[in-house]
Amino acid sequence: MVAQTRTATTPSKKLNFNEKIVGKSLSTDVLLKKLKALHTELAELDQELVDVNSLSSVRSQLINTSLLLHKDRGVKAYTACCLADILRLYAPDAPYTQNELKDIFQFFFRQLSAGLKGTDAPYYNEYFHLLESLSTVKSVVLVCDLPHADELMSEIFRDFFVLVRRDLAKKIELFIADILVALIDECQSLPSEVLDTMMAQFLDKNTRLDQPAYRLAVQICNATSDKLQRHVCQYFTDTIVTNSRELDTEGDYNEIRTAHNLVKQLSKSCPSLLHSVIPQLEEELRVDQVQVRLIVTHALGEMYADKGGSDLIRKYPTTWNVWLMRKNDKAAAVRLKLVESARGLLLNLPEHRETVEEMLQLKLLDPDEKVRAAVCKVYSQLDYETAFHSVSEAQLRAVAGRGMDKKHAVRVEAMNALGKLYSLAYPEIENGDASAASHFAWIPNEVLHISNVTSETKAAAERVIADYVLPLPSPPSNSASTSKNVEVDEVAWTDHLLNIMQHLDDLGVNTILSMSGIKANRPTMYEHYLRACIQNNGGVIDENEEIIIQRLNNVVKHLARQFPDPVKAAEDLHEFAKANENRLYKLLKTCIDPQSDLKSIVKALNEFLRRVEQSLDSTLSTMTIFLRRATLRIANQSSISTLIKRVQKSAPTSKHAQQLLTFISKHCPALYKPHVSELTKAIADERNVILVEVGMHALAAVAKADESQVTLDKRALERITRFALGENPKIAKFAARLLASLKDHEDACVEIVESISDKLPEATPEELIAYTTVLVQMARFKPATFEHRGDAIMAFLIKKLLMGRRSNDPEEMDVDDDWVQDDELAPIQKARILALKVCRNRCLANASVENAVELATPALKMFSTLLEHSGSFSADAPDSSQVKSRMRLQAAVSLLHLSTVEAFATVLSSNFIWLAITVQDPCYHVRIVFLTKLVSLLTARKLPPRFNTIPFLTIHDPEADVRDRAIAYISFISKSIPPAARVDQLELIFIRLLHLLAHHPDFSTTHENIQEMAKYIEFYLDLIAGSENIALLYHLAMKAKTVRDSESHTYSESLYTMADLAQELIKARAQARSWTLQSYPGKVKLPSDILRALPSTDAVAKVVKTQYLSEETIDWLRVIRGHKPATATKEKKREAREARNGRSPPAKRKASRARANGAPKRAKTKKSARWNSDQSESEEEPSSDGESVHDQSEKATSPRRSSSVVSETGQESNKEEDGGEPSEREKKFGRKARMKAQVSHVQRGEA
């Protein structure tokens, strides 16, 4: 039925068209002409003025099937336009029945789908008119009232979303959006197919705003969000909640995963649709299915990280809080997803930074290593601005702490993050940005500290330093280029190192210098490896085959120990040798040659790694580590000129430039060979004292290594001679060393010695320092010249300087500490300490003469006297505690050096106990310097094996770094020396350790003291004992009861006590670790210098059968082994009896919290305050190939003992309790121990 739309109005205009448009006689051309005329007239009619009755004829004709189904596209296009105009003119009512309207709208959209294409398509204007009419008149809303409207509406949406993908004009897209929005607004219920069609646009993997279909969906959703919210919520309810129930397979979860991806897309472009969806996601966070929690955690994470994340948090705060609580989810995978979202949160949610940071800090300690690693990785993905403004320094330091994580993956990610952030920040640090420096400049120091923990952390730290912190200049773009055209900025590279060093502490500086490879003895172990590879010749060896193969195996074994994975490293090193590629050998030789400059190293290193990757890919990781350690990639000969200029110009980094040059002078003067002329020029600038000092040191080092490299003209000789006689001790020292190293300048040396000898009696204290410094050098390197005036010089030094009477210095006596800063030490005291070094060097210089021991005896006695009197020549000397500390340290270090001479070591064996307990000196600085020097000499195998017992005396040290240095040495030497040497150096000395403890001044047989002594043995067993050597150690402990002490019966019983204690502790350890304690099959020769045979077999049997431990100690040992003490009941009865008699049991008092040789813990002064004269000549210090123990001195690779020793001790027993009057030597020991405790108590107790 036709709707009547208008009455009671008099239209001003009627349709003039009155021709027939339906009929079989009409040709297509005629019909087109008529339809076009009709369309033109209809288009011009105004809806408000038209007489609709005049339209009735064409209205009915236009819906004739002959037009709607006409085969000509133009006819249908014009028909559609005319029908659209009819609907416009009749609006708001429709002049057609519902079925007719359905046919009309289907006709419309068929025409649009088929014909609306580009602007050059036929009838484009007609289709455009049709679409515009539907958009502006909104006649399309009539669809909502038609039968089967849902199907038609779904069809319209499908057709339009296909149509819009044709990249049509923007206006057409807007028309389509208007039409579809109108349909949604007018429909009573939204068909599910319509919603599916729109949602599908958000699931395209390539969705972006430049895609018309996606853009159309966004426009529609945002325009109809109020109406769509309920439908979208229902859509997710059906998809998510229904599929969340009892799903097990991965395929089942794909639907849920897809739905959440859709939520993420809607959150980006149409967040208003999700008003009811977000609470559903919140509920999903609480469901039992791990996969569902995983999916929703990831989805919400990406939504919060998006630019609209802040609004999302503000609108749904409870969802945000519930999401954050996934940090405690029982499933590690969920916690991991939460963490992985954090990068976007830090980038886009600055107002929630603290909350996110708190969550990440907590997850840095997550029990799952993947979560911890993921947190670290988040920070490695940040850009500089985000890391600077959105991450606190405290949080970065927390990430750095994971660099010592027990899991490799976490350590790697943590250090990668630190390295990448530092690399991003370095340009700002270099430009002087104080804020950037404060925030990031500490990172290299932290990485360097981490490198000292284990071999694994060392390798990771080395990689970060090489890749991010201090990388080599970029390789040339053309791999075929030669070294001549490889341009690298050597100045910037060197300054980079100096800038880093500005922000390092002492340990950091020492570590980076250790990494530099400068300190290694040359030829290094890496050079030995290369030589062994060349000799091995890929296994084709003409002669000495067995020796060459064994040499290669030994070198590989030694190198492999220092790698994170020794087994793989050994395999890779053998594979590289087997490959036998000469080009690789040549490149490797260039890389490790100290004479290679930076350009050569960069080119050779990159070509080497590229070739290894191509031909020996499996060995790449090992050879990369090999090159990092073998190459002078931190500082080399290309650095020297820049370093000299920085010192010369007193730049801000001049201090570290000086430090580097000094280090090179000590350990690798070969780097100076191309720069000797620069150094000679530098010492001529006498106004710059530091430059002269550095230059003189370098020249002296070069001359000592190869005197042919240094040539002095007359003016330079006069200048250096003047320096040697000057008042600057350091310049004088190096000037003297330079002249002493040059054979052609004997006369200058004689002149200097004679001049100093004449001036000594009248010299001022300041002059004495310079003069004695020169004499130290002459005594060591020009002994014949020194002996020209040797007697006169030694007479003055010993009688006048060392032993001469001096009045008390009030300033010294008023100081409460036992150490003093270098600049506060009185000049005369500095001269006295240097005088001791003169005595030592004179002995060493004459060590090879026939009567060396006779000549050295006065000096040996003097050093021993200083140790016996705690740093003075007599008990009543007026020296202050600070001076005594310096003097006994120098005496102890001198005795260590003299013990490197076999003849002197034999003489000094009787005083070994005095020397050994220096490591337990009350003064921290004495202990640490003594131990450092001891370790360096032991590492170089310059001392007898018995000196390896001394590090085990550090167990009670109150300072961790003393213990750690001892542990580092023992651990290093235990792993690095061959098995046979390990037996001699570390295992056979066990009986010497027992002997040393028996002679210890703190030894007594009380139970409390035995417990303290047990800690020494346990410390030794912790570091040395294993299933393979436990039988030998037990055998040595038993053998100690078959001999006697060489000194006295009292010490013999002390030794037997320690032997019984050691046997019990060894048995307890073997039982606890399920080791088989078998009889030792071999024979052991006991040390005859400290032990003597017992007079008879009966005496041996009597000693062996006698138990020298008290019942209380035996009960304690039973408890250790897991047995019930036999005397527990007796003890209780005794205490009850004493209580009845009115006596309380003897009070047990606790020892000082931490002590060294009976002395309470002392406050230590600044470590950097040590004066050079308290250490031996640095150039004389040994170093080892690869990783030396000196390099490891700040790390402990074995389990650490507690720094606090809390035990129950009573009064120290007298020697009379052991059955005899103590000897004079025993009395001295007792006085020494008590004196140390008393001095330490007086100096610290009232503080």
Q: Identify the CA nearest to 955 among candidates 1017, 885, 1033.
A: 1017
Same domain, yes or no: 355 and 317: no
- pLDDT of 1162 > 50? The answer is no
Is 218 inside any structural domain? no
The verdict on 511 and 634 lying in the same domain is yes
User: In whole angstroms, what is the distance from residue 1115 CA to residue 1010 CA?
Assistant: 13
Among 340, 375, 400, which residue terminates a domain?
A: 340
Banded pLDDT at 188 (limits 50, 70, 90): confident
Whether 613 is in a domain gets the answer yes
pLDDT surpasses 80 at 544: yes
Of 586, 607, 639, the residue at which a domain comes to its end is: 639
Q: Which of 340, 359, 374 is the last residue of a domain?
A: 340
Spatial distance between the Cα atoms of 65 and 57, rounded to a whole number of angstroms: 15
Same domain, 387 and 273: no
Amino acid at 768: L
Same domain (yes/no): 353, 309: no
Closest listed residue to residue 840, CA positions, set 866, 854, 860: 860
CA distances to 894, 1181, 1201 from 1177, in Å? 11, 7, 33
Residues 375 and 326 in one domain: no
Asked whether residue 441 falls in the same domain as residue 315, the answer is no
- Identify whether residues 403 and 265 lie together within a single domain: no
Write the pLDDT tens digit of every residue in 1223-1234: 443 444 443 333
Q: Is 390 inside any structural domain?
A: yes
Contact assessment for residue 1161 and residue 963, using Cβ atoms and an 8 Å cutoff: no
Which tokens sit at 99? 């079925």
792 within a domain of the structure (yes/no): no
Q: Is residue 236 part of a domain?
A: no
- Give the residues across from 1156 on adjacent strands: 1159
Based on the fold, state whether residues 334 and 370 are members of the same structural domain. no
Q: Is the pLDDT of residue 835 over 90?
A: yes
Residue 1105 falls within a domain, yes or no? Answer: yes
Mean pLDDT of 824-851: 92
Q: What is the pLDDT of residues 62-94, one digit of tens each?
A: 888 888 888 888 999 999 999 998 888 888 888
Mean pLDDT, the chain, as a whole number? 84
Both 350 and 270 in a single domain?
no
Q: Which two tokens stand for residue 1030?
A: 């436990």
Q: What is the pLDDT of residue 671?
A: 95
pLDDT category of residue 475 using cuts at 50, 70 and 90: low
Given pLDDT bands bounded at 50, 70 and 90, which one contains residue 1153?
A: very low
Q: Is 1155 helix (H, G, I), strand (E, B) or coil?
A: strand
Name the band, by pLDDT with cuts 50, 70 and 90, for residue 52: confident
Residue 1194 near residue 510, CB atoms below 8 Å: yes
Is 303 a member of any domain? Answer: yes
**Total domain count for the chain?**
4
Do both 524 and 556 map to the same domain? Answer: yes
| Residue 506 Cα distances to 359, 656, 812, 866, 1178, angstroms | 34, 11, 28, 31, 17
Q: pLDDT, tens digit, for every residue of 649-688?
A: 877 889 999 999 999 999 999 999 999 999 999 999 889 9
114: phi then psi, degrees, rounded to nearest 5: -80, -30
**Strands annotated E in 300-346:** none
- Please, are residues 691 and 685 in contact by the beta-carbon 8 Å criterion? yes
Residue 1222: C-alpha distances to residues 717, 1177, 1227 (Å):
62, 41, 6
Q: Are residues 1104 and 1074 in the same domain?
A: yes
In tens, the pLDDT along 417-466 reads 999 999 999 999 999 999 999 999 999 999 999 998 888 888 899 999 99
Q: What is the pLDDT of residue 1224?
A: 40
Position 1232 scores a pLDDT of: 37
244-257 CB burial, b ≥16 within 10 A, e <16: beeeeeeeebeebb
Say yes or no to pLDDT of 1049 above 60. Answer: yes
277 in a domain, yes or no?
Answer: yes
State the Cα–Cα distance between residues 369 and 332, nearest whole angstrom: 9
pLDDT given at position 1137 = 45
In this predicted structure, the answer to whether residue 1214 has a pLDDT above a threshold of 70 is no
1179 or 364: which leads in pLDDT: 364
Question: To 5 degrees, how large is the angle CA 256–CA 262–CA 263?
Answer: 90
- Is residue 1212's pLDDT more than 60? no
Show the domain range for 315: 248-340
Report d(CA 259, CA 253) in Å as an integer.
10
CA–CA dist 1203, 963 (Å, integer) = 8
CA distances, 972 to each of 519, 912, 961, 965 (Å): 17, 24, 16, 10
pLDDT at 1098: 92
Identity at 1245, one-letter amino acid code: G
251 band by pLDDT with thresholds 50, 70 and 90 = low
Same domain as 561, residue 529: yes
Strand partners, 1159: 1156
Q: pTM of whole model > 0.85?
A: no
